[in-house]
Amino acid sequence: MSKEYYIGLMSGTSVDGIDAGLYDFSGKLPLAVDFYYQPFPEKIKKQIQSLSGDHQSISLYDYGELDTELGLLYAQCCLTLLRQANIKAEQVKAIGNHGQTLYHSPSSKYPFTIQAGNPNIISQKTGITTVADFRRRDIAAGGQGAPLVPAFHQTMFRSDIENRTIVNIGGIANLSILPKDSNQPVTGFDTGPGNTLMDYWIGRYKSSVYDTDGAWAANGKVHAELLKTLKDDAYFSAPAPKSTGTEYFSADWLTEKIAKLPQIAAADVQRTLCQLTTETIAEAIQSFAPATEQILLCGGGVHNKTLVASLKQLLKFPIASTETQGVHPDQVEAMAFAWLARQTILGLNGNLPEVTGAAKGVILGGIYQA
Ligand SMILES: Nc1ncnc2c1ncn2[C@@H]1O[C@H](COP(=O)(O)OP(=O)(O)O)[C@@H](O)[C@H]1O
Ligand SMILES: [Mg+2]
């Protein structure tokens, strides 16, 4: 059978780098063919963080330059991936690019979300049709524009024999609740911070971009009062549909909460932030998916041993990685954006109204022809 190749590009709120995956959709389920990861150069990472992080005003010039620079970088990742896989551009139907979120504001008076990384450049440099700007169409249809991965999770991971909940722990964490009864709707939402606050906190004290294996957090103790202060935030008890970003769960957010309390040892804060992530995920599952029979984890948070151990302690359900279902946990989102691009190319809806709150299912994204 002839292959049906799509590329998925994902760079999330962790601002760690770009995941580029090549997938073959000619079978019943997509198959991973090759994968390339490009960490962000430090300069670009700083630019993204300063534009998106803390409500800073930015110049349009800076935004314009970053949009071009990211477009070039995404294109370069695709070309490297194709070289690595020994596949020609003509063989690829389309690229799905999430883009780099600079600001996500789905609940304001005039809701908006901004992803940078000019798709015209990706299409021009690779010679491959590029689909991008997925989220704004869902917002236009009255949705949150997020999370968009649950529709893909449904295709890839839903089972007829067990209720599954997918937990994606990126910068922000999100759930997809997949009932085994196909008459029941798939639901999902952002639970709150995943790794973003832990990444920020360790970066303040050590020369690491993340807490490798959760080792530093493992040296600390949960600070009950800080945990309560953090969990009191209204986001956690707000009803779904809901989505959030690092402009909300920012360094400022944390600094403001910590300032209310006496001095706390830095490692204890790290452990408490890890507990914030796991308790808010666990409580969301207990409240909205109590019939879960299998939890599947993906996203970079799966590598944090302290975090996974804490989740296992908080939840009685069996917990495994998406790897057990054939998708590496670091590749789920890139595969999701390849899938979303294919939906758009085929004229099929990409959002789930029950998840995002949109008035109806819509075809997402803009198509930038090769
Ligand atoms: N070995 C590790 N130990 C602990 N945390 C890790 C490890 N590897 C990755 N991570 C975490 O995963 C994050 C990247 O996850 P990712 O799924 O790419 O998130 P996003 O979709 O937001 O980019 C890193 O910023 C880091 O917090
Ligand atoms: Mg990432």
Q: Where are the domains of the chain?
A: 5-145+331-368, 149-325
Q: Tokens 């202060």, residue?
A: 229
Q: Out of 115, 195, 323, 333, give the residue to mutate to test ligand 1, the one with the largest number of ligand atoms within 8 Å of its CB.
A: 195
Work out the widest C-alpha separation in the chain, in whole angstroms.
65
Residue pair 364/132 in contact (Cβ under 8 Å)? The answer is no
CA–centroid distance, residue 182 to ligand 1 (Å): 32
Q: Which position has the higher pLDDT, 315 or 59?
A: 315
Closest ligand relative to 210 C-alpha:
1
Q: Would you state the pLDDT for residue 53?
A: 66
Ligand 1 atom having least distance to the Cα of 213:
3
Determine the topology of domain 5-145+331-368 in CATH: Nucleotidyltransferase; domain 5 (3.30.420)
pLDDT digits (tens, 9 = 90+) for 101-139: 999 999 999 999 999 999 999 999 999 999 999 999 999
Question: What is the rounded distance in angstroms from the CA atom of residue 143 to the CA atom of residue 263?
Answer: 41
What average pLDDT is seen over the chain? Answer: 96
Per residue in 26-81, pLDDT tens?
A: 999 999 999 999 999 999 998 898 887 655 677 899 899 999 999 999 999 999 99
Q: Which CATH architecture has domain 149-325?
A: 2-Layer Sandwich (3.30)
Of 13, 15, 16, the residue with max ligand 1 atoms within 8 A of its CB, to mutate for a pocket test, comes to 16
Strand partners, 188: 176
**For the sheet containing 187-193, what is the strand order?**
187-193, 172-178, 164-169, 294-298, 319-321
DSSP state of 351: -
For 284-297, the pLDDT digits (tens) are 999 999 999 999 99
210 lines ligand 1 (CB under 6 A): yes
The rounded distance, in Å, linking the Cα atoms of 320 and 50 is 35
Q: What average pLDDT score do residues 179-199 get?
A: 97
* Ligand 1 neighbourhood includes 190 CB (under 6 angstroms): no
Best mutation site among 303, 311, 321, 323 for ligand 1, i.e. most ligand atoms within 8 A of its Cβ? 303
Say whether 149-325 and 5-145+331-368 share the same fold. Answer: yes
Distance 72 CA to ligand 2 centre (A): 18
Position 1 scores a pLDDT of 73
Tokens coding 251:
């360094």
Six-digit token pair at 210?
């993340």
CB 138 less than 6 A from any atom of ligand 1: no
Q: What percent of the chain has pLDDT over 90?
A: 95
213 C-beta closer than 6 A to ligand 1: yes
The answer on pLDDT for 356 being more than 80 is: yes
Looking at the CA of residue 198, tell me the nearest atom of ligand 1.
27
40 Cα–ligand 2 center, Å: 10
What angle in degrees, to the nearest 10, is found between the helix axes of 119-126 and 60-85? 30
Work out the average pLDDT over 183-209. Answer: 97
Q: Give burial (CB, 10 Å; 0-12/13-18/19+) of 245.
A: buried
- Rounded to an integer, what distance in angstroms lies between the CA atom of residue 322 and that of residue 10? 17
Ligand nearest to the CA of 195: 1
Residues 6+ apart with CB under 8 A from 186: 150, 151, 153, 154, 158, 176, 177, 178, 179, 352, 354, 355
Query: What pLDDT, on the 0 to 100 scale, is given for residue 112?
Result: 97
Atom number of ligand 1 nearest to Cα 212: 3
Atom of ligand 1 nearest to the CA of 330: 17
Residue with token string 């690779």: 126
For tokens 């949150």, what's the residue?
144
- Cα–Cα distance, 340 to 148 (Å, whole number): 9
Residue identifier of the C-alpha nearest atom 13 of ligand 1: 300
Q: What tens digit of pLDDT does each residue of 140-155 get?
A: 999 999 999 999 999 9
Q: Which residue has the tokens 């709707």?
A: 185
17 lines ligand 1 (CB under 6 A): no
Residue 212 above 70 pLDDT? yes
Nearest ligand to the CA atom of 190: 1
pLDDT interval class at 183 (50, 70, 90): very high
Q: Ion ligand 2 — residues with CB under 5 Å?
A: 12, 14, 16
Element housing 125 (H / E): helix 119-126
Q: What is the pLDDT of residue 56?
A: 63
Q: How far is the CA of 140 from the centre of ligand 1 (A)?
A: 31
Regarding the beta carbon of 245 and ligand 1, being less than 6 Å apart is answered: no
d(CA 19, CA 335): 10
